[in-house]
Amino acid sequence: MSQFMQLGQTAIQNKNMAEAVDWFSKALEESPKDPQIQACLGQSLCWEGLRDQGIIHLRQSGQVLLKKAR
């Protein structure tokens, strides 16, 4: 797990969703096709009240995982 992902998880544990979004966004810049990062960012955005943006990332995560499952 990257340092940005770890910091994002810590922010979630501290109930700081805005900070989690920032960290997961940075992690996504490093690994744009990582479905776990996409999912974490998407869920954090939803918790932050940005559901439309969050759903985009959650769907992208699901699409990557579906491709890997085939």
> Band of the pLDDT at 70, cuts 50, 70, 90?
confident
Q: How is residue 46 written in tokens?
A: 């939803």
Cα separation values, 55 from 1, 10, 22, 43, 70, Å: 23, 22, 17, 8, 23
Per-residue pLDDT tens digits for 20-61: 999 999 999 999 999 999 999 999 999 999 999 999 999 999
Q: How is residue 11 written in tokens?
A: 């922010």
Task: Give the count of beta carbons closer than 10 Å to the beta carbon of residue 67.
Answer: 9
Q: How is residue 53 written in tokens?
A: 């943006």
> Band of the pLDDT at 1, cuts 50, 70, 90?
confident
Domains, the chain, with CATH or none? 3-69 (1.25.40.10)
